[in-house]
Copies of this chain bind each other. A is one copy, B any other.
Amino acid sequence: MCALSVKRSEDFSRWYQAAVIEADLAERSSVRGCMVIKPWGYSIWENMQSILDRKFKELGVRNCYFPLFIPVDLFAKETEHIEGFAKEMAIVTHSKLEKIDGKLVPTGPIEVPLAVRPTSEMIIGESFAKWVKSHRDLPLLVNQWCNVVRWEMRTRLFLRTMEFLWQEGHTAHETSEEATEFAKMMHGVYNWFITDILKIPAIMGKKPDYERFPGAVNTYTMEAMMQDGKALQAATSHYLGQTFSKAVGIQFQGRNEQLQFAYTSSWGISTRIIGGLIMTHGDDEGINTPISISPYHIVIIPIIKDEMSKNSIFEYCEKIRSVVNGNYRVLIDKTDELPQNKKWDYIRKGVPIICEIGERDVSSDSVLFHRRQPNIEKLSCRFDEFEAKSSSILQEHDNTLYKKALAMNEEKTIRNIRTIEQAKEFFESGRTGFVVANWKITKNDIEQLYEMGVSVRCSLIDSPEEFILAKAY
């Protein structure tokens, strides 16, 4: 029996949809392209936020909040940037609603239309221009956690939605070298977060020119392979050169007394990574989450067959919680739902250990539980063994997830591709995965690949002549 209604092997795309919905992470809203993030999904995001936020603060980055709206004429000051976003922006044009002939109509047209931020380089740059006067004000390191909007036609929960949540860091520096170094360091932070924390194997790469963020000089990317062999851009860090500092005038008095333009960087990761997490670690039973971001590590389900034994079972559940609490997040689910339904619900949600505690466990001083990884397995132990047992399972959990993901990754990676023909052959055969290639790729090659739905994801940071070809989300 599988907990999810669709298997990965049947239809990966439908499986993904089922995993999100059936683990109760998120759902579509009536607003076209927007999603509702439900408690379990939002809790995963909160855990991610808290880990990243702590890291950013350790690095001296300070949180701020900048306006949701960007006046269109400000946005337009940087040509490449506006061109990159002009076709996918929500534009506010009115400030009122009025009932005209029984129908609510926008009225009160505003002078300068406002774009709902798709990203904040321009609006944050404008503040930077005010804040930076001397080289002593640099580096300037800020971040905001917020919502952004990009008008998307075809949307998928977490992966591509009109509105999404993210953090966007923005920094200004005295020299090109410092700004580059900072952008690279943040690339390293994302690498740590994605591989060490989320246990998603990913490639540190640099985007080709034509795939860069609009306005960037260099875009560093984390490319992760999903179980269907497609790539997901999991986070990016941009070295922006003087593009934005020239557009909005971030100038400072240098050490040589001359007025000069600052060098900036920006870097972000979004709720999209939750989609990546699901497509990396999910299985036919549901999603799986590494320990540090799991909403709960252990869920205890009391099984009450007789009201008489209710109190003693609840007490025993509390006793179990008390031996593992502190180190792990533990939930005792006392809701009215049927225990069997609860169990499958938590399996779909990827809870690493699910205890089912009934009268027999109380009287025999034992604990019945289900381990989620590497396979769902029903286990039992004496009460006094449970602390050590659960702890060893939870310590192995992340490792198991990572090993599985890495094995899948290896299986779907082909190396040493030296010609367009070899590359085409791979994808024409119907296979998916990462092709690690190394040849002088031409515009014509790129077009041929593009027609097959394949793109150059990035060149490798550690081996810049090599590049990755893949289909992508």
Residues of A bordering B, CB below 8 Å = 27, 29-31, 34-39, 42-43, 45-46, 62-76, 82, 86-98, 104, 106, 108, 113-116, 123, 126-127, 130, 136, 142, 146-147, 149, 151, 162-163, 165, 335-337
Contacts and interface: CB of A to CB of B under 8 A. Distances in A.
A335 to B, nearest CB: 8
Nearest to A61: B39
B142 A69 contact: no
Contacts of A97: 72, 75-76, 82, 86-87, 89, 91, 115
A147 B144 CA distance: 13
Q: How many copies does the complex hold?
A: 2
Contact of A64 (B36, B63, B72): B36
A38 B131 CA distance: 11
Contact of A30 (B27, B71, B337): B71
A66 B92 CA distance: 19
B116 A106 contact: no
A96 B106 contact: no
A130 to B, nearest CB: 8
Minimum-distance CB pairs A-B, first 10: A34-B67, A39-B62, A37-B65, A91-B94, A86-B97, A91-B106, A95-B151, A31-B67, A90-B92, A93-B93
Contacts of A30: 71, 74, 123, 126
Contacts of A127: 27, 29, 36
Contact of A63 (B42, B123, B142): B42
B136 A336 contact: yes
A64 B39 contact: yes
A89 B82 contact: no
A62 B43 CA distance: 9
A241 B248 CA distance: 50
Given A43-B62, A68-B147, 14 more contacts: A31-B67, A31-B69, A35-B67, A39-B62, A42-B65, A43-B63, A68-B116, A69-B90, A72-B104, A86-B97, A89-B95, A90-B92, A90-B114, A92-B92
Contacts of A74: 30
A248 B440 CA distance: 59
17 contacts: A27-B130, A29-B123, A29-B127, A30-B71, A30-B123, A30-B126, A31-B70, A39-B62, A39-B63, A69-B90, A75-B104, A82-B104, A87-B96, A87-B97, A89-B95, A89-B97, A90-B95
Contacts of A98: 86
Contacts of A42: 62-65
A81 to B, nearest CB: 12
Contacts of A64: 36-39, 42
Contact of A91 (B29, B43, B87, B92): B92
Contacts of A88: 95-96
A142 B37 CA distance: 11
Contacts of A116: 68, 92, 116
